[in-house]
Structure 1
Amino acid sequence: MSILVLNSGSSTLKFALFDELAEEELVRGTLDWYSQSEGVTMAYGFQKISKTESRLDISNNRDAVEWILHVLAEINLGKSIRAVGHRVVHGGTKFCQPTLINEKVIQSLGEISELAPLHNPPALTTIGAVKTILPEAAHVAVFDTAFFSTLPRSAYLYPVPYEWYEQYGIRRFGFHGISHEYCSTRAAELLDRQNDDSLKLVICHLGNGCSATAVLGGSPLATTMGFTPLEGLMMGTRSGSIDPGILIYLMKQQGFNPEQLDQSLNHQSGLLGVSDVSSDFRQIEQAAQDKNERAQLAIKMFVERIQSTIGSLSVLLGGIDALIFTAGIGEHSPLLRSSVCEKLSFLGLELNEVKNQNAHTDSDLATKQSAGRILLIQTREEQMIARAAQRFIMKSK
């Protein structure tokens, strides 16, 4: 038996297949129907084989699901799927724990899709497609917002009329929770401080979407993303936090409508909007090395916002035991890590540049003299989701 994990994006579908205990990863892959040059990359863990295909007739999540299940059947793994774990970005106030998916759950998730317009709709499409093909499997939704359901009231409320919270549910939800929860647990293991209620962590999840979280003893105290995944750090195509008066001005004085603002803030801002090069940090790094001033400016803005966020979260924690870099940029860009840590010596954080340039998964990049540790942790959201699905399998036995 096996557990399939699906992580849906607007133009990508990541998948991984685990054994029934959710410990051994059998297959993983990413389908990308936006970047035609990448296509699909699959790694067959049990055979240690990688395979890349670039010409696939895939243009949406439903096609991607059918292709994945077809390939798994070809390698004699498709018929053994006992459960499917789905990453769902926004669970609203109703979904704070992994949830078995039924029609009522699907309807409820559809009602809050506008809170995560880049993520929830494709996830729902994927769920519908897989349930049709694998109706007997247990389908489990695991929510990015769940980890932050225990945020202190002072952290999840906004300083707006209190009626907005009571009547409209306006509050901070937080996102990337699956990643932040995994990294907080893994950091405690690496530091040999499990079950330590005093462990102070600042976790920077830096990818196309970016967020930072202050974690004390395994529980979140604050996080940068808010009511939607648009708040907080500068991101690939998202603006992050800006003066809300800008939006009022654009609507009143320049005639912008909500749809235009949504498109601009979610799809045309961030690293892409500033650099005018790409939302891909690798391409921006290359452009900056080639003396592209806009690319250099985008990196500077990105780094400064991360630095100021680390500082504010550290103050909230009353210190910092470890700074954690994770996700695509955090794990793979020595330049970003070096630039961010350049001004953090006042927090007792000192980066070992040799270790940074030769970093490997789940390692400490700090110098021996550093008062705090600097950890690079490979986030394992898929395994967290598989473990949640596995618990439902055990309940049904």
Structure 2
Amino acid sequence: MKILVLNCGSSSIKYKLYDMTDESVLAQGGAERIGLDEAFVKVTLKDGSKEKIMHDMPSHKEGVKFVLDLLVDPKYGCLKSLDEIDAVGHRIVQGGDLFEKSCIVTPEVEKGIESLIDLAPVHNKGHLAGLRAVDALMPGTPQVTVFDNAFHSTMPPYAYLYAVPYEFYTKWHVRRYGFHGTSHRYVSQRVCEFLGVDIKTQKIITCHIGNGASVAAVKYGKVIDTSMGLTPLAGLMMGSRSGDIDPSAVTYLMQKTGMGPQEMADFLNKQSGVLGITGISSDMREIENADNEGNERAHLALQMYNYRIKKYIGAYAAAMNGVDIIVWTAGVGENQEGVRWDACSGLEYLGVKMDKERNHVRSKEQILSADDSKVKVVMIPTDEEIVIARDTRDLVEAQKK
């Protein structure tokens, strides 16, 4: 079975084509600047090199069409015909409380995703455009939606509800949902396979630390809490997102700056976080370089960033009455040893003991803690796309039966 995985953002489309016989990647790439000038697709070639192809893509439909054209192109693709694609799997950021697991796409599912656009206006609108583009370009091809918040649907009400009038939840679905669920799901399962333990016996804290970042408490295979909230803005300090902030600080800043609600939302999502503190960049690699050169604000940003990760680890250890495994994943978590080291320092009371030499590694499955550490600290590179591909395969095969 060949499965195409699509992740359609507001102006981008990431894609991977899998042969599920051995879960090998046959083709991959990404379209950028959809609906904007100078749109392009960056394709990974068979030798591992990448090539940038300029192509006008006024909408997601044209973007998806060009991706499909590339898949059957003699140079860039690997298919003789699009008929070889058995199904398409989509990443959907916000499933609200309508979708608690992956599902086959139907008109009702599309309407459900559309009804949740207000909760994730940037993301869900792009996802829906991608779904409908495939509907138009590959009619009859099964499609599956895999929701970013679904893995977190096991949170109890006392963890996901906000302390506001209950009717806000019943009327407008205002609650904590959490995101990066596909990644948290993958690494929590994979780390147990890697260590040879049963996930149903483990208390795991998964740290998905990238430009967007979140932490989840996974107790015996089920999420009991996670740091992101109604939107991906809550929780940790991130590349350009503020993370947790006093709501009164938000209204105060709106009064002082004259910003409206959408302007303030954009400000907290795109101009805050590490970027806002340093004034340099949202890229943690650049911040570490600036810190090494003596930049005081870069140093402060790193202290804030790592401290907040540490606080969530401590909170979730308390919520689970202990922790057996701490997992690091995503761009920063997999590649920046300083962040891992600083965030885990001072957690000796939990039984965490890091190994400096083991921690000196990038994007590789590896135990980072010392042999005598009571808590296993492990790096597991994430693979959200393979989770989407597997769910798509399983649902399509089940439908055939």
Cross-structure match for 1:386: 389
Do the aligned partners of residues 248 and 58 (structure 1) sit closer, same or farther apart at CA in structure 2, a change above 3 Å counting? same
Match among 45, 49, 52 for residue 50 of structure 2:
52
Cross-structure match for 2:14: 14
Unpaired segments ≥5 residues, structure 1: none
Aligned AA (1:124): L
Aligned AA (1:10): S
Q: Secondary structure at the match of 2:54?
A: coil
Aligned AA (1:332): N
Cross-structure match for 2:272: 269
Q: Give the Cα separation in 2 of the matches to 1:298 and 1:11.
A: 29
Q: Give the Cα separation in 1 of the matches to 2:9 and 2:346.
A: 34
Match among 239, 243, 263 for residue 242 of structure 2:
239
Match among 147, 153, 157 for residue 151 of structure 2:
147
Match among 295, 303, 308 for residue 306 of structure 2:
303
Q: Is the 8 A contact 1:173 1:226 kept in 2?
A: yes
Provide, for residues 216-266 of structure 1, a one-character-per-residue CA deviation record: whole Å limited to 9, x for no partner. Answer: 110011101111111111112211110011122234454331111111111
Cross-structure match for 1:72: 71
Match among 315, 319, 328 for residue 316 of structure 1:
319
Q: Give the Cα separation in 1 of the matches to 2:231 and 2:280.
A: 26
Provide, for residues 14-59 of structure 1, a one-character-per-residue CA deviation record: whole Å limited to 9, x for no partner. Answer: 211111447222223334449x999655445xx5x21312352356
Q: Is the 8 A contact 1:22 1:386 kept in 2?
A: no
The residue correspondences of 1:160-309 to structure 2 (distance < 5 A) are 160-194=164-198, 196-252=199-255, 254-309=257-312
Provide, for residues 46-88 of structure 1, a one-character-per-residue CA deviation record: whole Å limited to 9, x for no partner. Answer: x5x2131235235664444233212211134252111110000
Q: Is the 8 A contact 1:323 1:375 kept in 2?
A: yes
Per-residue deviation, 1:370? 1.1
Per-residue deviation, 1:313? 0.7
Q: Which stretch has the larger CA shift, 84-93 or 243-252?
A: 243-252
Q: Is the 8 A contact 2:367 2:376 kept in 1?
A: yes
Provide, for residues 78-118 of structure 1, a one-character-per-residue CA deviation record: whole Å limited to 9, x for no partner. Answer: 52111110000000111112122233322321221221233
Provide, for residues 369-393 of structure 1, a one-character-per-residue CA deviation record: whole Å limited to 9, x for no partner. Answer: 2111111111111011001111232
Q: Give the Cα separation in 1 of the matches to 2:365 and 2:377.
A: 10
Q: Is the 8 A contact 1:15 1:29 kept in 2?
A: yes
Q: Which stretch has the larger CA shift, 253-262 or 214-223?
A: 253-262
Provide, for residues 279-317 of structure 1, a one-character-per-residue CA deviation record: whole Å limited to 9, x for no partner. Answer: 222222222223232222222211111111111111111
Cross-structure match for 1:93: 97
Do the aligned partners of residues 163 and 186 (structure 1) sit closer, same or farther apart at CA in structure 2, a change above 3 Å counting? same
Q: Which stretch has the larger CA shift, 358-367 or 84-93?
A: 358-367
Q: Is the 8 A contact 2:153 2:223 kept in 1?
A: no
Q: Secondary structure at the match of 2:18?
A: strand
Q: Give the Cα separation in 1 of the matches to 2:388 and 2:363.
A: 24
Q: Give the Cα separation in 2 of the matches to 1:283 and 1:65.
A: 33
Q: Secondary structure at the match of 1:197?
A: helix
Q: Give the Cα separation in 2 of the matches to 1:205 and 1:240.
A: 14
Q: Secondary structure at the match of 2:259?
A: coil
The TM-score, its normalising length taken from structure 2, stands at: 0.91
Unpaired segments ≥5 residues, structure 2: none
Cross-structure match for 2:30: 30
The TM-score, its normalising length taken from structure 1, stands at: 0.92
Q: Is the 8 A contact 2:5 2:89 kept in 1?
A: yes
What percentage of aligned pairs have identical amino acids? 39
Q: Secondary structure at the match of 1:283?
A: helix
RMSD of aligned C-alpha atoms?
A: 2.4
Aligned AA (1:107): K
- The question of 1:131 aligning with 2:135 is answered yes
Q: Give the Cα separation in 2 of the matches to 1:316 and 1:209.
A: 23
Q: Is the 8 A contact 2:90 2:131 kept in 1?
A: yes
Q: Give the Cα separation in 2 of the matches to 1:318 and 1:357.
A: 30
Aligned AA (2:342): S
